[in-house]
Structure formats: structure tokens, C-alpha cells
Chains A and B, each alone.
Chain A
């Protein structure tokens, strides 16, 4: 099993450009999450999904959209990138999203917005 994979690994954008980050998992997990990690801030939840076709907002959702068209994929979109969205983005998944479920993380996508 590859676990949780993310593409791309690194990307540079200009302000106003758009892009999509892809997360894929091969563990048949129901729940998937997008976090961002900034220096000194830990990881903060952007959006999450409790199953195919469903998404919900997390702690810092503004400026991002997500889609879960297939169970194994969770896409994070930036419609109009801003320098404040420079960050490292991590995707995670868990089997059923229960409150005692382990989350497994991908390797991250480093995004720089100029």
C-alpha cells in the first residue's frame, strides 16, 4: 500500500493564479482531511470529508474549495491564490472518522505564492 500520497510536492504560484492539490489514499478510508502547517502554528484544519460526495468546513476554510468525487481522492482548490496561502499542505485520512481514529498523513505539498 502506498498509504496517503499528495501531488504536486512543490509549487510556485503568482498572486491570483489558481491550482488544485490532489490527495489520494489506497486504504479504503472514509474520512479525509486537508490541513495547512505554518511556522509556529501547528496544523490547522481547512476542510474535511466524511465520505464520497460530502465535504465540510474546518477551522480555516476561507479561500479554499474541496471536492470528493471518488472515495480515494480529495482535491483542494485555490481559485485565486494569495501570499497568505503560502504554506505546507498536508492531507490525512482515517478509517471511519470516529473520535478515537488514527489519522494517517501524506508527505505534504509546499506552496509558495508570490
Chain B
């Protein structure tokens, strides 16, 4: 079956522009996570969804970052007024169970110029 799909795979944007990153989880997976991987850094947790609700948003770095999930499926991560420090690979993962095995997408490489 299909894995976790993320789009776009690469995004170059100008500083100050808004961007939307999309994640299509594996069908039926209840839990969905967003992580960020910056050059030389480890993976940084951003937000977690259980169904359409986000019980843990503690990793969002600022109010420029927001995310939503609709229909218990697709999720969108939005970054407003992008800054150069937002440049990173944004990874989405889904899991059939809370705290279960995590299945990651290929990521979206965001470059802010």
C-alpha cells in the first residue's frame, strides 16, 4: 500500500512569503506528527495530531507556524512570513496507534532565500 506522502518535495521561497506543506498519511492511521530536521541538528518535534485535534503543539517554534488536519487524514503545516532560519527538511509521520511504530514521509526541503 501507499506510504506517507508529502508535497512538495522541494520548496524555495522568498523571505517573508507564506508557505504550505502537505502531508497525506497512511490510510487509517490515527496519529500524525510533524518534525523538522535542520542541517547539523537532530529531528525536532513540532506538533502531534490525534484524529483532527492537536493535543501537543509544544514544538511549534513561533506563532508564525500553524497546522491543521482535516477528515482525520490530510494535514497542512503553514509557515507565515518565512525567515531564513525556517530553512530545513520538514518530515511528517503517521502511526496506526498512539506511541506506535512511526512511518515517515520523504520530507519537504524548504529553502528560504
To the question of whether A and B form a pair in one complex, the answer is: no
Interface residues of B (CB under 8 A from A): none
